[in-house]
Amino acid sequence: MTVEITLLGTGSPLPSPDRAGPATLVRTGGATLLVDCGRGVVMRMAAAGVLPVGLTAVLLTHLHSDHITDLNDVVTTHWVMSPDPVPLRIVGPPGTRAVVDGMLAMLGPDQRYRLDHHDDLNEGPTLDVTEVGPGDVLELGGATVAVHATDHRPVTPTVGYRVEHEGAVAALAGDTVPCPEVDALCQGADLYVQTVIREDLVRAIPSPRLQDILDYHSTVEQAAQTAARAGVHTLVLTHYVPPLTPGDEEAWRALASAHFDGEVVVGNDLTTVAAGAS
C-alpha cells in the first residue's frame, strides 16, 4: 500500500501570489485527510481533485492563524455541498473546540441567510470536534493516526500526526523545532513533511519581528538532521520562510542534502509525493 501527500499550500503568513497558506493533503487506503487549513485551501483542494465533502477528517497541528484561517471555508463548503447532513470531523489540540465555536459564531449570519433561502437546508453545519494530545490514536478511514507532541513554544499545545496504513507511513510535524518527540513522530517514515525556514536569509532581513521566528521553527538543516536521525525515506519541505523563489530550489535542497542522504522534495503548491510498500 502507498501513502500519498499533496502540498496544497507551501506558503507562510507572508502573502504570496504563488503559494497558498499551510495545508497538506494525505491520502492512503480509504482515508483522505486535510492537515491544516491555510489561506486558499479549498481552491487548492479543488485543483487536487478533492472537495471538502470528500474529506475523512481535518487535522489541525496548532491554532496559529496561518494554519486555520480558511477552516471556515472548508466547513461552509462541506455544509453547502453535502446533499444530506454529514458530520465533518475536526481534530486538533486543546483549544480547537473554542476556536470552532468562535468560527461558527462568526458564520452565524451566513448560515441564517442560507437556511432562510434554501428549503432543503434545515440545519447548520454538523461538526464532530475531537481535541487530542500526545499518545492519542485515532482510526480514520482505515488509517491509524497517532498524535505526537511537537515544540513550537510559546505556542502550546502543538501536535504532529503520524498516519499509517498497511505499512505505509506519513509523518506531518507542523511548526516545531527539533526535539525527541519529533524524532519519534517520524521514525522510519516513508514521508516526513516539515515546515522550514532559511536562517541565513531571515537573518539578512532587518526586521525584529521576522527574526523572532528563528527560535521556534526548524531550519532546513535541522529538518534534514531530524530526517537522518529518524531514518526516514523522503523529506518533504514546506511552509518556506522567506518565500521560495523560482529557480532557488536547488539551494534549499543542497542545505538539506548536506545532512540527509535520502530524497529531498522542495515542492510548489500541488506537488504530490507517493511512497510506501507496494
Q: Classify residue 259 as left (phi > 0), alpha (psi -120 to 50) or beta.
A: alpha
Does the annotation count 66 as an active-site position?
yes
Alpha-carbon span 158 to 195, nearest angstrom: 14
- 48 close to 73: Cβ distance less than 8 angstroms: no
Query: Which of 66, 70, 151, 175 is labelled catalytic?
Result: 66
State the Cα–Cα distance between residues 186 and 163, nearest whole angstrom.
10
Q: Which three cell numbers stand for residue 127?
A: 461538526
- The C-alpha atoms of residue 107 and residue 88 are separated, in whole angstroms, by 16
> How far, in Å, CA of 122 to CA of 104, rounded?
16
Asked if 32 and 55 count as a contact pair (C-beta separation under 8 A), the reply is yes
Cis peptide before 93 (omega within 30 of 0): no
**Cβ pair 239, 195 in contact under 8 A:** yes
Angle, helices 220-230 vs 249-257, to 10°: value is 40
| Amino acid residing at 277 | A
List, by residue number, the catalytic residues.
66
